[in-house]
Amino acid sequence: MLTTPRHPRYDILFEPVQIGPVTTKNRFYQVPHCNGMGHGKPQSLAAMRGVKAEGGWGVVCTEEIEISPFSEIAPHFEGRLWDDSDIPALRLMTDACHAHGALAGAELFFNGYATPNRYSREIPMAPSHTPVKATDPIQARSMDKNDIANVRRWHRAASLRARDAGFDIVYVYAGHDLGLPMHFLSRRSNRRTDEYGGSLENRVRFLRELIEDTKDAVGDRCAVAVRLAVDQLLGPLGITSENEGRDAIAMLAELPDLWDVNIADWSNDSQTARFSQEGYQEQYIAHVKSLTTKPVVGVGRYTSPDAMVSAIKRGVMDLIGAARPSIADPFLPRKIFEGRFDDIRECIGCNICVTGDNQCVPIRCTQNPTMGEEWRKGWHPERIAPAQSKDTVLVVGAGPTGLELTRALGQRGYEVALVDAGTRVGGRLINDAALPGLATWMRVADHRMLQIQKMANVNLYLDSCLTADEVLEFGFNRVFIATGACWRKDGLGRQHRAAIDGISQVDVQPKVFSPDQVFAGAALTSPVLVYDDDHYYMAGAMAERLCQQGLEVHLVTPSVKVSEFTDMTMEQLRIQAGLLKMGVRIRTSTAIASVSNGPDGLRVELSNTYTDARTSLRCACLLLVTMRDPVDSVFAALQARHDEWHAAGVKSVQCAGDAFAPGTVAAAVYAGHKAAREMDTDVDMQGAVGFRREMVGL
């Protein structure tokens, strides 16, 4: 077993770091991140964190942990330490981390006005009277001195419970515009006139008291960390890293054992790759180490080992913090240690992981289909059951589903032939990655091709468009059809359950386009109307691309906002703001009623989705982003010839990914992985649950 990294340049990443009374074995620090499991699925949570510890992370932290029903965040599943009965569930996680030599960190929180307390129905509290951050018609009340004393008491009690649950690091949370200490710290939310308001020294007081309380309670055994957003990205309206963010750290510099620094709010801290590059937070946090002798951890979606080394050597941070990169590849530290750089699954920065927490379901990942399935399905990111037969496998389609299916079956040891009609692998990823800001999405294909190229049992055939006859002639035992999907151009979608009136007219159709046609090189002319009934990234990114080409663009959507689903990925505001700044003319809550052609172009009749009030818009071209149809003709043809399978040696034909049901790239990768895991198993496809459930009280 190696005791030093294979490449000496990375030695610094594997140096131990003293954090108060504890020591982490290396500089890889999985910062707290939500996951949709929390107190509701503690065994799933423990298994997921344990896999990260196994993968080499020196510190593995929880998500937010509620310290009191006076600040709970239902329906979201975060951790809980309301009383001693919550200790055993969290002990599962600390045991899982300690089993692999990792320290376990607990992020205790009291969220003030950031939570409406939907479950407990307790009145939220804040430094000053203010509406809650959610849209609930509820206000948080201004805290009196007794309230402040109570929160300090609850936090101290939770710190002791965290210690008893086996945690090595206990957090005081003042980040993301969520933690109550941040609400006291920011003049934007603190209008008090007593010793907890006014001057920065007064506004820092509550944070100071919580740090002192926590150190007094558990500081002999546990390190005390402070997570602080040093910049709210609000300019003079909020805390900035140049002024009060810097001064607050200077006032408290030596008090905690570790500084975990970032920017607020969460949508800024976890920006997608569409709007930020690796290391994007350095400009805000680089000064922190000059203010304290205590170790500093920061984040920035680091996936490059060289960027990590650089951040440490330049004095930006002592520990490489990661949430999303640790989700995409729980074994990232071990792979760096062993010099297996080509095996790293680099985070693509799509924030599909965030959608799990936002939708109150277990976390998922585009790059890592095993994320969230460690306990309930027994999936491991690096291990998979060996082949159970000598069956040969033909995979038709080298998009995200076909690539992952081939990679996983190849890892199992099956002989696999991957065939694609194109001249390069990637399928839909080739086009998606060509959109503004989405280049990192090609990592999904690149990673899988790197793995496939190492496998002697896998052959790749490009520029080969197979028919049903040719599939049968191949003579392989198992056939998977992963031929993707194509965009419709008749308007059928969520809003329109039938084709748009007039869309099929002979003189209209040449001026109506789908995204596939644009990717294929169709020349659009101004003005262009982009119709978004898909509500994810495609329409907004297409509008941006057309603007960059100098076209006048109108974007119309039945939704109340552009790219509505991207609320879940925390990028909607940036998308709509960016389009407005580029000059895109946006109409929301608007559907297309009909289309007709005239001497001055297309006449598009628009209808308000609430009142049906009609307006019209003239355009040269109409780009419809509505829904996709599976490309499943080969699958259908093979199904119709089932009687010929046996003679051809075919045992099964399965349709997977977008060819079965179009969805996200993450869903496509998951479909490929699931199909590979389930081949030659006894999985019941007739309605069995297919995974373990955590039963409350059992």
Position 458 scores a pLDDT of: 98
| pLDDT single digits (tens) 298-320 | 999 999 999 999 999 999 999 99
197/143 Cα distance (integer angstroms): 12
Sign of torsion over alpha carbons 439, 442, 444, 450: negative
Handedness of CA 41, 536, 435, 516 (dihedral sign): positive
**CA angle at 318 for the pair 314 and 320, rounded to the nearest 5°:** 95
The answer to whether 486 touches 516, Cβ cutoff 8 Å, is yes
Hey, what's the torsion of the CAs at 276, 277, 281, 282, to 10 degrees? -150
The rounded distance, in Å, linking the Cα atoms of 390 and 213 is 63
Res 690: pLDDT: 83
Domain 8-358 has CATH 3.20.20.70: yes
Q: Domain coordinates of the chain in residue numbers?
A: 8-358, 392-484+631-678, 489-628
Average pLDDT on 484-490 reads: 97
Rounded average pLDDT over 465-494: 96
The tokens for 432 are 């998606």
How confident is the prediction for the chain on average, in pLDDT? 96
- The pLDDT confidence band at residue 686, using thresholds 50, 70 and 90, is low
**How close are the terminal C-alpha atoms of the chain, in Å?**
41
> What pLDDT sits at residue 191?
96
pLDDT of residue 6: 83
Cα atoms in the Cβ-side hemisphere of radius 13 Å centred on 214: 33
Q: What is the DSSP letter of 501?
A: B
Contact 301, 278 (CB under 8 A): yes
How far, in Å, CA of 482 to CA of 669, rounded? 11
- The whole-number pLDDT of residue 685 equals 54
Q: Are 634 and 396 in contact (CB under 8 A)?
A: yes
The DSSP bridge pattern shows strands 512-513 and 621-625 to be: parallel
48, pLDDT greater than 60 = yes
CA 663, CA 658: separation in Å to the nearest integer?
6
User: Residues of the chain with pLDDT > 70: what percent?
Assistant: 98
What's the pLDDT at 695? 80
* Average pLDDT, integer, range 358-363: 95
Region of residue 564 (left: phi > 0; alpha: psi -120 to 50; beta: else): alpha
The secondary structure of residue 122, as a DSSP letter, is: P
Q: What is the C-alpha to C-alpha distance for residues 272 and 261, in angstroms, rounded to an integer?
A: 19
Please check the confidence at residue 696 and state whether its pLDDT lies above 80: no
Has residue 120 got a pLDDT over 60?
yes
Continuous segment of H or E residues that includes residue 319:
strand 319-322
Is residue 689 very low, low, confident or very high in pLDDT (cuts 50, 70, 90)? confident
Please report, rounded to a whole number, the percentage of residues in the chain having pLDDT higher than 90: 95
Complete edge-to-edge strand list for the sheet that includes strand 652-655: 458-461, 415-419, 392-396, 478-481, 652-655
Active site residues: 34, 173, 176, 269
Contact between 486 and 427 under an 8 Å Cβ cutoff? The reply is no
- Of 165, 61, 50, 56, which is closest to residue 99 (Cα–Cα)? 50
Once rounded to an integer, what is the mean pLDDT over residues 76-99?
A: 97
The pLDDT-based confidence of 80 (bands split at 50, 70, 90) is: very high
d(CA 572, CA 397): 32
Q: Are 46 and 383 in contact (CB under 8 A)?
A: no
Distance of alpha carbon 647 from alpha carbon 475, whole angstroms: 9
Three-state secondary-structure class, residue 545: helix
For range 318-342, the mean pLDDT: 97
pTM, to two decimals: 0.96
Residue 63, CA distances (Å) to 104, 109, 459, 500, 564 in order? 11, 10, 42, 46, 26
pLDDT (tens digit per residue) in 378-426: 999 999 999 999 999 999 999 999 999 999 999 999 999 999 999 999 9
- The confidence band for 4, taking pLDDT boundaries of 50, 70 and 90, is confident
What's the pLDDT score for residue 494? 94
| Residue corresponding to tokens 């585009």 | 366
Q: What are phi and psi of 477, to 5 degrees?
A: -75, -40
Query: Percent helix, strand and coil across the chain, each rounded to 5?
Result: 35, 20, 45
585-636 per-position pLDDT tens digit:
999 999 999 999 998 899 999 999 999 999 999 999 999 999 999 999 999 9
**Residue 425: CB partners within 8 Å, gap ≥ 6?**
398, 399, 403, 418, 445, 449, 460, 462
Residue 31 contacts residue 107 (beta carbons within 8 Å): no
Decide which of 1.20.210.10, 3.40.50.2300, 3.40.50.720, 3.40.640.10 is the CATH code for 392-484+631-678.
Answer: 3.40.50.720
* Edge-to-edge strands, sheet with 585-587: 512-513, 621-625, 528-532, 553-556, 585-587
User: Mean pLDDT throughout 662-671?
Assistant: 98
| 297 in Cβ contact with 318 (< 8 Å) | yes
Helix residue spans in 253-331 (DSSP H): 266-269, 282-285, 305-313, 324-328
Query: Class for domain 489-628, per CATH?
Result: alpha beta
Q: What span, in angstroms and rounded, lies between the C-alpha atoms of 167 and 161?
A: 9
The mean per-residue pLDDT over the stretch 138-153 comes to 97
- CA-based R_g, the chain, Å: 27
Residues near 679 by beta carbon (within 8 Å), at least 6 away in sequence? 391, 393, 409, 412, 414, 478
pLDDT in tens, 435-459: 999 999 999 999 999 999 999 999 9
pLDDT value at position 177? Answer: 87
Alpha helices in 167-304 (DSSP H): 180-185, 200-218, 244-252, 266-269, 282-285
Structure confidence at residue 697 (pLDDT): 61
Which of 304-310's residues contact partners 24+ apart within 8 Å by CB, and which partners?
A: 304/278, 305/10, 305/13, 305/336, 305/341, 306/9, 307/278, 307/279, 308/13, 308/27, 309/9, 309/10, 309/12, 309/13
| Interval 510-567: pLDDT, tens | 999 999 999 999 999 999 999 999 999 999 999 999 999 999 999 999 999 999 999 9
